[in-house]
Amino acid sequence: MSDPASFYEQVGGHATFQRLVDAFYRGVALDPVLRPMYPEEDLGPAADRLRMFLEQYWGGPTAYGEQRGHPRLRMRHIPFHVDPDARDRWLRCMRAAVDDAGLSPIHEATLWDYLERAAHAMVNTFEPNRAGAPGAPTPDGRPIL
Ligand code: HEM
């Protein structure tokens, strides 16, 4: 008997993950808190990294690992101010993207459960986001005042 199809295959493979990530980044592009967090002007490369990661996680191609190595996602997010507000905004963009993907209820629930738990695990600060405020740290960590 052959192995059951991976989740990646069951939901429609590459086209589905591309659609999901495209819809997600359309939301990010419009979000005033999330958008400035992304260092590159073009969101395309970040979209590719998230898509490759999700495809690999769900049993698809392993391009993420080949190009980026071990995910270590919590560590990779440390430079960014991921507070509960950023998490909720990230999840709102992702919720709209998951709704747009047209998955079956069981696939949708499985994917959403994972994304919600992963987003909660990514929170790395409960400090308010003071970027630009007086006394906020400069990019090299020194206080302005
Ligand atoms: C909770 C809110 C989150 C925020 C605000 C956030 C923000 C960011 C930012 C600003 C980047 C850098 C963009 C880039 O250069 O790729 C990034 C990278 C990334 N994020 Fe998130 N993220 C969040 C949650 C998540 C979650 C839940 C996942 C996975 C399910 C995830 C997966 C990734 C991946 C795969 C990368 C690229 C890592 C690499 O450099 O290889 N993120 N994220």
Q: How far is CA 21 from CA 35, 48, 96, 129, in A?
A: 15, 8, 11, 25
| Separation between Cα atoms, residue 120 and residue 126, nearest integer Å | 12
Domain ranges of the chain: 9-122
Can you give the pLDDT at residue 128? 78
Can you give the pLDDT at residue 137? 52
**Ligand 1 center to residue 1 CA distance, Å?**
38
> Is the distance from the beta carbon of residue 57 to the nearest atom of ligand 1 less than 6 Å?
no
H-state helical runs in 1-145: 7-10, 14-30, 44-57, 63-68, 73-77, 84-101, 105-122
pLDDT (tens, 9 = 90+) of the chain, 145 residues, equals 556 799 999 999 999 999 999 999 999 999 999 999 998 999 999 999 999 999 999 999 999 999 999 999 999 999 999 999 999 999 999 999 999 999 999 999 999 999 999 999 999 999 877 654 444 454 555 444 4
| Predicted TM-score (pTM) above 0.85 | yes
**Ligand 1 center to residue 26 CA distance, Å?**
15
Pocket test for ligand 1, best of 7, 21, 38, 49 (most atoms within 8 A of CB): 49
- Domain 9-122: give its CATH code: 1.10.490.10
Can you give the pLDDT at residue 134? 47
